[in-house]
């Protein structure tokens, strides 16, 4: 399943909340601070950099208050913030329970915008768990609800979620244009957080197709934009991208590891479990490219445990691939490597990654083992997953 190319962005997709005036709000001007519109109602004062544990604690308290007073709209909005915090902390079952409850509560209140945000949260969670068809379905529902309910921010976030899901799947042709549209709209509105997101997504596609110089320039722009906007999450992801390119293009191990250490500290400050696990996996990538296989194996092993704990399907598969390659380089039996590569091939296909065959065939060629039956070699393009 792919993102339909007919998806378009209407002007104002990333407008700040209606109660705020341009120039006064986070994201209201080119030099504005990043804001977190998923934190709404009584939680609207929370920052994009608020500790996720703080979001859960305050969110649950406000949720109980709203439920006690029978305020269904406020209950739904508080629940969305809690669900997102749980998801980012890797508490998957709690996130699933809360977003569904918020959707039902918003529906009971006739709050289409609240329903949109809840469906967005559910779609984002589905993508994290590797259920891409469900992610597409929920995010399309969210975009439609956002439009019908007049919540342009919810619609914008949902379109961004569709674009990111397609990019992760590897469907660059379908979502490349959508990324560019979203970037143009975010820049027009001066919405820093989504400017950073779009820059990183476009940069990742360039990196994966071998355009290292363009990717590096975009990642660096994203990092600078995030720093000006005080968006620690966005800066952490951007620094990870810069480190990846410097390692892959230049072999600059020391600089790459230093940037990843800086990014990891930002992740720890606000308890970003998923971003920290991907940071650790990238450390493994950098060390593996440098031929430091024992160190890479250690990083991949830890990242794999973290991904599994939070049910992050794609991260789990990629950490498994890195660990498999490190073990092979350290002398693992070739037949065992080939058997695990075949199992991993099935997992990548189950997730729905369009480039699963290419990734597995190239790993088999690199390690000198037979590719799994059914894996089709692709002679052109890179399409690596990072």
Encode pLDDT of 271-290 as tens digits: 888 899 999 999 999 999 99
Tell me what the mean pLDDT of segment 20-44 comes to. 61
Looking at 129-251, list the stretches that DSSP marks H as alpha helix, in order from N- to C-terminal side. Answer: 132-148, 152-169, 172-189, 192-208, 212-228, 232-245
Q: Is the pLDDT at 12 greater than 80, yes or no? A: no
The per-residue pLDDT for 32 is 64
pLDDT of residue 371: 92
Query: Quick check: 384 pLDDT over 90?
Result: no
Please, which pLDDT band fits residue 380 given cuts at 50, 70 and 90?
Answer: very low
246: tokens are 């410097």
Tell me what pLDDT residue 8 has.
Answer: 52
User: Token match 């609800």: residue?
Assistant: 145
Instruction: Quick: pLDDT tens for 211-235.
Output: 999 999 999 999 999 999 999 999 9
To the nearest whole percent, how much of the chain has pLDDT over 90? Answer: 76
User: Taking CA 170 as the corner, what is the angle to CA 85 and CA 121, rounded to the nearest 5 degrees?
Assistant: 20
Largest CA distance in the chain: 66
Percent of the chain with pLDDT over 70: 89
Q: Are 232 and 198 in contact (CB under 8 A)?
A: no
pTM score, whole prediction: 0.85
The mean pLDDT value for 332-353 works out to 94
Instruction: State the average pLDDT over residues 351-364.
Output: 92
**Distances 202 to 125, 184, 355 between C-alpha atoms, Å:** 22, 12, 18
Would you say residue 17 has pLDDT above 50?
Answer: no
Q: Write the pLDDT tens digit of every residue in 72-110.
A: 999 999 999 999 999 998 899 999 999 999 999 999 999
Residue 56 has pLDDT above 80, yes or no: yes
Among 256, 267, 259, which Cα is nearest to 231's? 267
Closest CA to 232 of 33, 83, 46, 57: 33
Confidence of residue 14 (pLDDT cuts 50, 70, 90): very low
Average pLDDT over residues 118-144: 96
Question: Is a pLDDT exceeding 50 seen at residue 4?
Answer: no
Hey, what are 253's tokens?
């191990």
- Confidence tier at 19 by pLDDT (50, 70, 90): very low
Q: How high is the pLDDT of residue 10?
A: 52
Residues in the chain, total = 386
Give the confidence band of 158 by pLDDT, cuts at 50, 70, 90.
very high
Mean pLDDT across the chain, nearest whole number?
89
Spell out the SS3 assignment of 192-224: HHHHHHHHHHHHHHHHHCCCHHHHHHHHHHHHH
pLDDT band at 386 (very low <50, low <70, confident <90, very high): low
Residue 21 has pLDDT above 50, yes or no: no
User: Could you tell me how far CA 100 lies from the centroid of its own chain?
Assistant: 21
CA–CA separation, 83 and 104 (whole Å): 14
Alpha-carbon separation of residue 21 from 16, 161, 186 (angstroms): 8, 26, 16
pLDDT value at residue 33: 76
């Amino acid at each position: 399943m792919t993102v339909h190319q007919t998806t378009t962005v209407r002007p104002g997709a990333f407008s700040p909340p209606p109660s705020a005036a341009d120039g006064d709000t986070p994201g209201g001007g080119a030099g504005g601070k990043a804001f977190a519109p998923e934190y709404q109602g009584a939680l609207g004062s929370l920052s994009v950099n608020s500790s996720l544990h703080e979001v859960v604690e305050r969110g649950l308290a406000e949720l109980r208050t709203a439920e006690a007073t029978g305020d269904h709209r406020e209950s739904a909005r508080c629940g969305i913030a809690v669900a997102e915090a749980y998801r980012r902390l890797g508490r998957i079952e709690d996130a699933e329970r809360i977003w569904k409850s918020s959707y039902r509560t918003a529906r009971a209140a006739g709050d289409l915008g609240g329903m949109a945000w809840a469906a967005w949260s559910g779609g984002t969670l589905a993508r994290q768990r590797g259920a891409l068809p469900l992610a597409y379905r929920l995010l399309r529902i969210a975009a439609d609800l956002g439009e019908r309910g007049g919540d342009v921010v919810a619609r914008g976030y949902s379109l961004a979620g569709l674009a990111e899901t397609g990019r992760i799947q590897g469907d660059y042709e379908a979502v490349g244009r959508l990324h560019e549209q979203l970037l143009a709209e975010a820049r027009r509105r001066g919405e820093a957080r989504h400017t950073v997101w779009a820059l990183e997504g476009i940069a990742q596609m360039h990196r994966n197709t071998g355009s290292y110089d363009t990717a590096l320039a975009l990642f660096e722009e994203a990092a600078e934009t995030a720093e000006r906007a005080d968006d620690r999450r966005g800066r952490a992801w951007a620094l990870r991208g810069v480190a990846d390119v410097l390692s892959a293009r230049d072999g600059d191990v020391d600089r790459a590891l230093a940037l990843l250490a800086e990014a990891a500290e930002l992740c720890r400050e606000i308890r970003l479990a998923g971003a920290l696990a991907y940071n650790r996996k990238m450390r493994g990538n950098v060390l593996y490219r440098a031929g430091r296989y024992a160190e890479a194996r250690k990083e991949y092993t830890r990242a794999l445990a973290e991904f599994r704990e939070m049910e992050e399907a794609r991260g789990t598969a990629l950490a498994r691939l890195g660990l498999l390659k490190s073990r092979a380089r350290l002398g693992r039996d070739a037949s065992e490597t080939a058997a695990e590569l075949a199992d991993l091939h099935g997992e990548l296909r189950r997730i729905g990654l369009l480039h699963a065959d290419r990734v597995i065939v190239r790993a088999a060629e690199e390690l000198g083992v037979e590719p799994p039956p059914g894996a089709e070699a692709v002679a052109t393009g890179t399409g690596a997953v990072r």
